[in-house]
């Protein structure tokens, strides 16, 4: 895959990357840094893209690995449990509905892996693709997804 094709594919996945980053990074500077780091890691790792999976699935995996690595670095991303008022900056605020805001606030309160599972599910990825990104059994994804949905229902009922 050449540079131009890479850039085209990244543009197609732009919104997906922004949503994912919005679930893990709070400040604008952290989100921008993380976005750049994801693109850099994807470009460096492009030789490992085997085209057995969709490019978006591969890029999702690169993004998740980059986010988790950044999370492990001291002070790379600051987290807070009380972010109910946070709005994901994917769409202009005027276009976001209150229910979507509540859902994303609830998703942010989940564990890292649970956020990946539900976010990929909401993006339309199947259990095998989610399992591939996370490196776990596809059958377990169904169980994990059920548990995550129950957690979200509990969180949303409490609000």
SS3 letters across 70-123 = HHHCCCCCCCCCCCCCCCCCCCCHHHCCHHHHHHHHHHHCCCHHHHHHHHHHHC
Instruction: Give the whole-angstrom CA distance, residue 62 versus residue 39.
Output: 9
- Three state DSSP letters for 38-64: HHHHHHHCHHHCCCCCCHHHHHHHHHH
Angle, CA 22 vertex, CA 121 and CA 90 arms, to 5°: 85
More confident residue, 20 or 73: 20
What mean pLDDT comes out for the span 50-73?
85
Give the residue extent of every domain in the chain: 3-79+86-158
Q: What is the pLDDT of residue 73?
A: 65
What mean pLDDT comes out for the span 109-132?
89
Name the band, by pLDDT with cuts 50, 70 and 90, for residue 86: very low
Q: What is the pLDDT of residue 150?
A: 94
pLDDT of residue 95 exceeding 80: no
pLDDT of residue 109 exceeding 70: yes
Q: Kindly state the DSSP code that residue 33 receives in the 8-state scheme.
A: H
What mean pLDDT comes out for the span 118-123?
89
More confident residue, 51 or 142: 142
Of residues 48, 75, 71, the one with CA closest to residue 61: 48
Query: Is-contact 26 5, C-beta < 8 A?
Result: no
**Mean pLDDT, the chain, whole residue set:** 81
The CATH fold assigned to 3-79+86-158 is Butyryl-CoA Dehydrogenase, subunit A; domain 3 (1.20.140)
Across 2-6, 24-28, 74-78, 104-108, least confident range: 74-78
pTM of the model: 0.64
pLDDT of residue 77 exceeding 60: no
């Amino acid at each position: 895959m050449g540079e131009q094709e890479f850039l085209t594919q990244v543009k197609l996945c732009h919104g997906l990357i922004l949503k994912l980053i919005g679930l893990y990074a709070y400040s604008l500077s952290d989100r921008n840094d993380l976005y750049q780091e994801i693109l850099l890691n994807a470009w460096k790792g492009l030789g490992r893209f085997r085209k057995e999976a969709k490019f978006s699935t591969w890029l999702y995996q690169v993004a998740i690995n980059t986010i988790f690595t950044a999370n492990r670095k001291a002070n790379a991303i600051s987290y807070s449990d009380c972010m109910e008022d946070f709005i994901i900056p994917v769409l202009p605020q005027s276009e976001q509905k209150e229910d979507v805001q509540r859902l994303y606030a609830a998703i942010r309160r989940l564990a890292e892996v649970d956020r990946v599972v539900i976010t990929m599910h909401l993006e339309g990825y199947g259990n095998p693709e989610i399992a591939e990104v996370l490196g776990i059994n596809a059958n377990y994804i169904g169980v994990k997804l059920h548990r995550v949905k129950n957690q979200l229902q509990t969180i949303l009922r409490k609000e």
